[in-house]
A and B are shown apart, each in its own frame.
Chain A
Amino acid sequence: MFWKKKVPLLIVFIMGFVMAVQYFVPSDFSKKFYDTYIDWAIVIGIFGGVLGFFSFFRVHIHKVSKQAPNWQFSLISILCALLMIIAALLGGRGSGSLFMKLFLYTSAAINATVFSLLAFYISSAAYRAFRARSTQALALLLAAVIMMLGRVPIGDSISFWTAWGWPSINEISQWILNVPNLAAKRAIILGVGLGSLLMSLKIILGIERTYLGSE
C-alpha cells in the first residue's frame, strides 16, 4: 500500500507543487530544475512509446494465432508494419525513399480518403437532421448557412445588396465570427480553463487518482 499508492501520490504532490511554484520564482536553481525536468520527462516519454507498439503487435498477433474473424486483415497489418521497417533499413527515411513513398501513397492516401468520406455523411446529415425545430435551432441554422456562404467566393458574388451600402454576406460572416461566436467560445474557454485548473489541483492534492489505474 505504501509503495504502491502513497509514494506515487507523494511524488505527484511534490512535483506538482514544485513545478507550480517554479513559475513564480525566477532563480538559477529554479531554471535548472525546470530544464532538468523537461529533459527527463522527454526521456520517460520515449520509453512510453514501447507501450503503443507492444499493444499493436499483441492485439494483431493474438488475432492471427487464434484465427479470429477477419484475422487475415490483422496479418496484412503486421506484414505492412514489418515492410516499413525493412524499407527504412534498406533505403533510409528521406523523401523519395521506398519508406516515404509507401507512407505517402498508401497510408496517407487511405487516411485522407477515409476522412473525405465525412463530406458525404455530413451532406446526408444536413439533409436529414438539420431541422429548424425551434427559434434557437433556427438561429444555429441561419448562422451556419451564413458561414457556408460567407466563407466561399460565391458569397460575395451573390451579395447584390451591397449596391445599397449593406454589408456583404462575407462581412456578415466575419462579424458573426468576431462577435457572437467569439463571445460564445470565450465563455466556453473560461469554463474549460476553470475546469482544467480544478482538475490540476485535484491531481496535485491526490483527490483525483484514476491515473493510478486499478489496485
Chain B
Amino acid sequence: MDFLAKLEKVDRRIIYLIITVAVVLPFFFRMGLPITISPEVKSVYDYIDGLTPSDCVFISGDYDPQVDAELSPMFDAIVRHCFEKNVKVIVANVFNLQGIGLVEPRLKKLAEEYHKVYGVDYAFLGWKIGGSLLIMGMGESFKKTWETDYYGTRLGDMPITRNIRNYDDISLVADLTGGGAYNAWIVYAYVQYHQKIAAGITAVMAADAYPQLQAGQLIGLLGGLRGAAEYEQLIKHPALGSVGMEAQSWAHIAIILFIILGNIGYYAVKRKNKK
C-alpha cells in the first residue's frame, strides 16, 4: 500500500527520462507497424490524384517553426504528390511570415528532385501582410492581390501565374496550419467563392475540424504527424511522418501507463487517508 501511495510522488525527472527513452529507442528497434488510412486523408489524396497537369494547387504554409515537425512532413507529401501528377503548385504563407523560412527551402529541394521548373511548374509567393484580406482578394484578382512572387518577379511575367485570374483557376487550396487559419479559408474562400479546401492541421486542432469536414466545408483533413504518415503511405513514399509513428506509438503507451499509475497512486492515497 505504501508503495502504491509513493507512486503519487515520483520525481518529474524520472518521467522525463522514461518519455525520452520511449521516443528515442523505437528508432533503433523498429517493428514495422502498419499504418491504417483514415477516410479524411484518403479523400485529400483522391482529390489530388484526380487532378490533371492543367490544374493548379495552392498550398498555404500557415505555420511557424513551433509546429514544423507536424506540418512540414505534410507539406512534403502533398507537394510530392502534386509533382508526381505534374499538377502545378503555388506555395504561399498567407497567415504566417515565419513559414517562409520553413517551406521555401523544402519546395526548392523537392522541385530539384522532380526536375520542376520555377515559374512554369511551381512558384513561391511568400507572405504579404493581410491574412484574410489576401484570401478575399484572391477571389477577385489573384495577380493584383499578390503583385509579385517571393523573389520580386511580377506574377504576370510567369507562365504559371499569368493565367490565374481568381479561385476559378485554382483546383484546390491546401491550408497547412498550426492555428485556426483553415476557418478563415472556409469563411472567406469557401462560403463566397465555393473554393475547395483541404486542411492539414496540427493534432491539437484536429478534433475541432470534424464539424467542418462533415459539413462539406473541407474536402479532407490531415491531422498531425499521423495525417502526414498516412499521406506518405498513400503516395508510397514513407518519410518523416511514417518513421515517427513507431516512436509515437511507444510514447503514447508510456503516457497511458503514467495515467494508470498516477490514478492508482491517487486512489491508494485516498484510501489511506480514509482509514
Residues of chain B lying within 8 A (CB to CB) of residue A177:
207, 210
CA distance A130 to B256 in the complex (A): 10
Residues of chain A lying within 8 A (CB to CB) of residue B66:
111-112, 114-115
Given A100-B105, A153-B246, residue A145 in contact with residue B263 (CB < 8 A):
no
| A74 on interface, CB distance cutoff 8 Å | no
Give A183's nearest chain B residue, CB to CB.
B211
The listed residue (B23, B65, B253) touching A111 by CB distance below 8 A is B65
Do B33 and A157 touch across chains, with their CB atoms under 8 A apart?
yes
Chain A proximity of B266: nearest CB distance (Å)? 5
| B43 on interface, CB distance cutoff 8 Å | no
Residues of chain B lying within 8 A (CB to CB) of residue A114:
66
The listed residue (B64, B105, B249, B256) touching A95 by CB distance below 8 A is B105
CA distance A94 to B245 in the complex (A): 32
| B2 on interface, CB distance cutoff 8 Å | no
CA distance A23 to B188 in the complex (A): 11
Do A185 and B208 touch across chains, with their CB atoms under 8 A apart?
yes
Give a binary string over A164-178; 1 marks a CB under 8 Å from any B CB, 0 the rest.
000000100010011
Residues of chain A lying within 8 A (CB to CB) of residue B251:
119
CA distance A49 to B127 in the complex (A): 13
Do A41 and B249 touch across chains, with their CB atoms under 8 A apart?
no
Do B210 and A185 touch across chains, with their CB atoms under 8 A apart?
yes
Do A38 and B19 touch across chains, with their CB atoms under 8 A apart?
no
CA distance A113 to B19 in the complex (A): 15
Count A-side interface residues using an 8 Å CB cutoff: 60
| B108 on interface, CB distance cutoff 8 Å | yes
Chain B contacts with A in 1-47, Cβ cutoff 8 A? 10, 12, 15-16, 18-19, 23, 33-36, 38-39
Residues of chain A lying within 8 A (CB to CB) of residue B10:
127
Residues of chain B lying within 8 A (CB to CB) of residue A154:
33, 246, 249-250, 252-253
Do A104 and B105 touch across chains, with their CB atoms under 8 A apart?
yes
Count B-side interface residues using an 8 Å CB cutoff: 65
Could you tell me the dominant secondary structure of chain B's interface residues? helix
Do A149 and B252 touch across chains, with their CB atoms under 8 A apart?
yes
| B86 on interface, CB distance cutoff 8 Å | no
| B148 on interface, CB distance cutoff 8 Å | no
The listed residue (B67, B211, B224, B266) touching A182 by CB distance below 8 A is B211
| A86 on interface, CB distance cutoff 8 Å | no
* From A46, A148, A149, residue with most partner B Cβ within 10 Å: A148
Chain B contacts with A in 211-245, Cβ cutoff 8 A? 211, 214, 223-224, 226, 245
Chain B proximity of A8: nearest CB distance (Å)? 20
* From B16, B145, B249, residue with most partner A Cβ within 10 Å: B249
CA distance A132 to B266 in the complex (A): 9
Chain A proximity of B242: nearest CB distance (Å)? 9
Q: Which 4 pairs show the lowest CB-CB distances between chains A and B?
A: A153-B33, A154-B249, A108-B65, A111-B65
Give the B-binding residues of A (Cβ under 8 A). Answer: 23, 31, 34-35, 38-39, 41-42, 45-46, 48-49, 93-96, 100, 103-104, 107-109, 111-112, 114-116, 119-120, 122-124, 126-128, 130-132, 141, 145, 147-149, 151-157, 170, 174, 177-178, 181-182, 185-186, 188-189
- Can you name 8 A-B pairs with beta carbons within 8 Å? A41-B130, A111-B64, A112-B66, A123-B15, A131-B263, A131-B266, A152-B245, A153-B34
Known: A39-B144, A111-B66. 5 other contacts (CB 8 A): A34-B140, A38-B145, A148-B255, A156-B36, A182-B210
